Structure 1
Amino acid sequence: MGESLLLEPSLAQTLAVSAAKTSKLSLSTSTQRSLAAWIKDNIRKKECCFYVNSDSKGICKCGYQRIHHVDDSIKPENYLGETWDRHRHVHEVPTDAYGDIWFGGLGQKIGRYVRVSSDTSPDLLYQLLTEQWKLPPPNLLISVTGGAKNFYMKPHLTALFRRGLIKVAQTTGAWIITGGTHAGVMKHVGQAVREYVLSSGSMEGQIVAIGVATWGAIHNRRPLVHHEGRFPAHYSLDMQSQGHLSCLDNNHSHFLLVDDGTHGCYGVEIELRSRLERLISQQPLGNRGRTRGNGFHISFELHTKPDQHLVALVIRSRLPGNTTALVLIQVYLSLSSPLPLPANRSSESVGMERWERQLELAVAWNRVDIAKTDIFTEDSQWKSSDLHQAMFSALLGHKPQFVQLLLENGVCLREFLGDQTTLCDLYTQLPTSCFFLRRLRKNIITLNMFVRFLQSRDCTSAALAASKILKKLAEEGAEEEDEAEEMRELAKHYETHAIGVFNECHCCDEERAQRLLIRISSSWGQTTCLRLALEADDKSFVAHSGVQALLTQIWCGELAADNPLWRVLLCMLFFPLIYTGFLGFSFLLLFSVVLMIDFQTTPSWREGLLYVWLISLVCEEVRQVRHIADMYINDMWNILDFLSILLFIIGLAFRLTTRLFYAGKVILCIDFIIFCLRLMAIFIISKTLGPKIIIVRRMMLDMFFFMFLLSIWVVAYGVAKQGILIHNEDRLDWIVRGVIYEPYLIIFGNMPSNIDNALFDIKACSVNGTESQKPKCPILNEDKMPAFPEWLTIILLCVYLLFANILLLNLLIAIFNYTFQEVQDNTDTIWKFQRYELIKEYHSRPAAPPPLILLSHIFLFIRRIVLQRPPNSYRAFSES
């Protein structure tokens, strides 16, 4: 009883996996019809057409009894007087045994089977396997022969053999071909497949084990026969009564049952199996779209040595040039030891083609250690073209170690991808989940690092682009927070690589390193490193001293960086000496004068100048949108520009109408506030004020979310207070005042007077709420005094102040403190990044300040549109 209980978890796991496999492998009705029609048209069996009694039991020379022959074969007129011959007296008819085979108990559960003639074309069988049974073409063919009966291995050698066989089959996408019966080494192969299925727990990476057996030697084959196919056929292993026949192994996935019209004869399948294996080994590898020659075929012949009581393993490795390497090793050596390649470089007769095929074999087996030690030796000389086939296989198989090894040993990506068909083949052979973005999303990055980073001419741009993609995926495409965090860490990893490469360049040559930052990269959409860093929000890269030196040079222009402050202030007094205008203060001064002093029904000259100034601002914003439309809306300062211009246009439209004249002035006053806020952007250039503006910006975002919490308490207290004090107030403005405005003012110390009877004044309110300028009086008693429970309103006020004034406001202070400390700890990096954005914006602007910028716009229009001349120096930076 205790032993059975110990087996229950394993049994439950086996049943669960078996159920999953049954649902996975069972065919739909339409697929069954299609498969049955194809098999009827193409696959045939053999049966005896001349019954000749061989003994007293009524057994024919073919081995079948009399009842298993058709009537025409009992007394055939064509063969009278002839001696029975298996070649002449057996003919082909459409097969009657095919479909799905279901094994009772534990194991593979569902498999495919078909009864085929021994003369069937291997091409038809390969078509059946790949097109009808949907098996992916193999990268490796493992043929296991020998040891069909009385095969014995010690337990530890058996485990070693199973583990090694499945490891090879799983990592290379191999097909395993055996005799398919539940005996000898074939039973060991089936059990190895079963152990892998139980350990994996899924159908992904299913091991393909094909059994090629003799139909006439299979026990209990009657349930497999049906003219319309069996879906499924129920097959049971009856080892006790099988006699000299054999049962099918319940752990194989596919069966080809070879029929020559005889019964009880073994070895019928050998010739057809050999021809099929030869055909498969000549096919292209499964994970490649092309190949120059034959595929790989490894033949395992296992047998026992009677005189030594050891088990030997003969590996036949079919390599091109009709060379067959026979390597005899002892199974007690680990099957995960180095792959037995016949690497004898002293023989020059094998030629380069042989070594290329050995390299492809090492790639298929994913044995980079063998490639390093036995193939890429010191005396080996490889051309880039010789390694292209192996590179193709490594890329599609996602084997980054091999990709790195091939790149280190001479593969030139320019030559490898020079042929457009190569890149097309890569795209067509790769599934969607293997594309670059999908790999980044799954954090499978080693291959991309080697191909896109180590070998890229624009490796800095490549790393910054990867950082941008990963941050965007973390923001929008991550399904879980852990996955998003991994992507953000990976983005930092790429940014660190970019900084490292640029730092090396900057240490070698500062001038060339600065030119590298503004050089247009054709590999990444005609962009620059600086623009990629800006779009990726890579602050650490922008904060690098080499990047900042370039920004300082661009900001100062032709001025010396060490000019004293008085010279700079002197230049600001003369417009021709100013590189970038600072007349924003003049615009705000003019705007405020118009709003407070000179806002007439008929616009004055000051107001007209203000309109011209605004038109120049509109033209500048249009120019910015035209150059950086994809990034314009992502900048907060650009949003303020757009909002301020929009409000100004609306206010101007209202102002020019008589009825909405005052409403237009109100809108323009609000617009003035936005223009003042927009002016703060100029102070980002200051190392002292710049970080403070960033702090204010982040605190505003924190306060926005804090207001949600505060609004819950304000509304909760306001509704309760209003319902207790006032009965049926129907004036909306006074409802809003009582529910929201008054509770909000309480936070700042403005205590209401209507909750305290001592402060009640009936003259300050309207009893029935008929006076629009007075609030409605609280509920009154017969003495015209408030009737509400004063003690309750006081308690509610105390609780409200406790949470709103003490708890929530202190929470806001703590949030602000955290934000301040976070920015303060990274003040230098954040300021340098913001400085870059400001310098980029002002450098791209025309030199003249508004409103004289209109002249610059006219000049630019004539220069670029009419004369079609390119921009001036630093155009890459400006356009970024």
Structure 2
Amino acid sequence: MVLQALEIVRIGILFPFFSIAYIVAPHSVIGQTMRKPFIKFICHSASYFTFLFMLILASQRQLFFDGSESDIVIQRGAEPSLVEWIILAYVSGLIWSEIKQLWDVGLEEYVRDMWNVIDFITNSLYVATVALRVVSYYETLQMQQAARNLARKDWDAWDPMLISEGLFSAANIFSSLKLVYIFSVNPHLGPLQVSLSRMVMDIMKFFFLYVLVLFAFSCGLNQLLWYYALAEKRKCKEEPSINDTNACTIWRRFSNLFETVQTLFWAVFGLIDLDSFDLNEIKIFTRFWGMLMFGTYSVINIVVLLNLLIAMMNHSYQLISERADTEWKFARSKLWISYFEEGGTVPPPFNIIPTPKSAWYVIQWVRRKFFGSRAAKKEHMRTIRVSC
């Protein structure tokens, strides 16, 4: 067991060597070893773990830069660092793998797999991140030096650099969740992953019903309390020496529909108290009516809907747990079969390197595309003459 684990670790560490060997000499001993399904799975998994490690390095800039270099990295329109260039190569390889899979299986079969949809969302976020970084870079080139080195606190709220950082962080979450798919081969984690995927529909049904309730009560509370929220805001501006630290933040809770939706959402986790209804100039009846609406929302959402979700998930889990082992073995078999298929031998980012084999495939495709019909027509005419 220990020797097997050490051998797996050795193959995983040497996956760049195996990949380059396959690119240079696909019919060599190492190249043929790379085509074995288990070796291919280890190399692809090791490549993905390396990609996640690069994502971690990209988020830990303070460990690798001193103050001056860190300022260069976080300035507007900063050029990509070495780690970010490596991540870009990985993303290009992942996108190329998805394009090849989509070409092979077709769109209908591709979207049936939930993980393919997640990969599409993740790659789209990375592409949007790169595009916004490019926009930010070219915008800063057209600015004066003072505007280029503007402090982050003075940036526009919708600065392309800030939006790209938000999308990049979301893409990191989806990339990390892909580990669940890799660990589906594990006999302990695999059945849990299958059970969780089967309960996703229950979560989606609950979320749809919850959004309806949330939006309904948000509209009502915003309509009732918007004026008093603005009065609280005016009070904060007119009395800057007020001692209450929440006075200048509480007005946001019901100032508009978007803020009201957020207020009711965080109320599920107990982060909103009844002091939020103590607004400036509010009347007794209005305050009572708002608290009544908030209490009704809490009863419907926390007492009824959350318990309904727990009951639905418990029921689904009991149904799934009876055949979870069979479902997991089926899912694991699908995973292994995908590595038995031809193509996709080299993991990202090495799969974006042109190989002699890929060049030969391109030549064959061009030959069939432009000369195949002519050759087939000549063969057809020859067959007619012989038959006559």
TM-score (norm 1): 0.30
Aligned-pair identity in percent equals 22
- Structure 2 residue aligned with 1:632: 110
Q: How does 1:242-261 map to 2 (within 5 A)?
A: none
Which range moves more in the overlay, 790-799 or 630-639? 790-799
2:212 paired with 1:748: no
Counterpart of 1:650 in structure 2 is 128
Aligned 1:333-412 pairs, distance under 5 A: none
Residues 225 and 254 of structure 2 are in contact (CA less than 8 Å); yes or no, is this contact kept in structure 1? no
Select the residue among 245, 260, 264 that pairs with 1:739. Answer: 260
CA 1:791 to 1:594, structure 2 compared with 1: closer, same or farther past 3 Å? closer
- Which residue does 1:594 correspond to in 2? 58
Look up the match of 2:331: 834
Conserved in 1, the CA contact under 8 Å of 2:128 and 2:164? yes
CA contact (8 A) 2:219 2:257 kept: no
Deviation track 1:716-771 (CA, whole Å, cap 9, x = no partner) reads 43333334444387899831255312222222112334466xxx4xxxxxxxxxxx
CA 834–860 in structure 1, closer or farther in 2 if over 3 Å, else same: farther
Q: Indicate how the Cα distance of structure 1 residues 667 and 716 shifts in structure 2: closer, same or farther if over 3 A, else same.
A: closer
Compared CA separation, residues 867 and 672, structure 1 to 2 (3 A): same
Structure 1: gaps of 5 or more residues: 1-560, 761-776, 781-785, 869-880
Pairwise CA distance, 1:687:
2.2
Q: Equivalent residue for 1:684?
A: 184
Of 311, 317, 320 in structure 2, the residue corresponding to residue 820 of structure 1 is 317
The aligned amino acid for 1:607 is E
Alignment of 1:370-769 (within 5 A): 564-575=4-15, 576=18, 578-580=39-41, 581=43, 582=45, 583-597=47-61, 601-629=78-106, 630-658=108-136, 659=139, 660-727=160-227, 734-737=255-258, 739-754=260-275, 760=278
Instruction: Identify, as 1 or 2, the structure richer in helix.
Output: 2
**Superimposed CA distance per residue, residues 806-858 of structure 1 (whole angstroms, 9 cap, x where no aligned partner):** 11111000111112112211112211221122123233353332222334x62
Structure 1 contact 655–663 (Cα < 8 Å) conserved:
no
Alpha-carbon distance between aligned partners in 2 of 1:826 and 1:687, rounded to the nearest angstrom: 14
Alignment map for 1:106-125 (pairs within 5 Å): none
Is the deviation greater in 832-841 or in 815-824?
Answer: 832-841
In the alignment, the residues of structure 2 paired with residue 744 and residue 662 of structure 1 have an alpha-carbon distance, to the nearest angstrom, of 25
Where structure 2 has 5 or more consecutive residues not aligned to the other structure, the ranges are 19-32, 34-38, 62-69, 140-159, 231-251, 366-388
1:799–1:819 Cα change, 3 Å: same
* In 2: Cα distance, 1:818 partner to 1:726 partner: 42
Between the aligned partners of 1:836 and 1:707, the Cα distance in structure 2 is 32
- Cα deviation for residue 587 of structure 1 reads 0.3
Q: Write 1 or 2 for the structure with the bigger share of strand.
A: 1
Distance in structure 1 (CA, Å) of the matches to 2:183 and 2:360: 32
Task: Quickly say closer, same or farther: Cα 1:645–1:623, change in 2 above 3 A.
Answer: same
Taking the aligned partners of 1:661 and 1:739, their CA distance within structure 2 comes to 28
Matched position secondary structure for 1:579: helix
Q: Is the 8 A contact 1:691 1:823 kept in 2?
A: no
Distance 1:585 1:564 in 2: 19
**CA deviation after TM superposition for structure 1 residue 672, in Å:** 1.5
Distance in 2 (CA, whole Å) between partners of 1:728 and 1:791 is 14
The amino acid that maps onto 1:804 is N
The answer to whether the 8 A contact 2:226-2:255 is kept is: no
Task: Please tell me whether the aligned partners of residues 253 and 260 of structure 2 are also in contact (alpha carbons under 8 angstroms).
Answer: no
Matches within 5 A, 1:112-151: none
Question: In the aligned structure 2, how far is the partner of 1:562 from the partner of 1:621?
Answer: 35
CA contact (8 A) 1:726 1:778 kept: no
Partner of 1:681, secondary structure, is helix
Task: Give me the whole-angstrom Cα distance separating, in 2, the residues matched to 1:690 and 1:572.
Answer: 21
Aligned-partner residue type, residue 261 of structure 2? I
TM-score, normalised via structure 2 length: 0.64
2:285 corresponds to: 788
Alignment of 1:67-106 (within 5 A): none
Instruction: Indicate if the aligned counterparts of 2:218 and 2:257 stay in contact, CA closer than 8 A.
Output: no
Displacement, 1:677?
Answer: 2.0
What are the superposed Cα offsets for residues 645-664 of structure 1, whole Å, 9 maximum, x if unpaired?
22211210110223423322
Asked whether the 8 Å contact 2:132–2:163 carries over to 1, the reply is yes
Q: Which residue pairs with 1:852 in the alignment?
A: 350
Q: CA RMSD in A?
A: 3.2
Pair 1:729–1:794, CA change in 2 (3 A): closer
Aligned residue pair count: 283
Give yes or no for contact 1:725–1:779 (8 Å, CA) kept in 2. Answer: no
2:262 and 2:135 mapped to 1: Cα distance? 33
**How far apart, CA to CA, are the structure 1 residues paired with 2:213 and 2:338?**
43
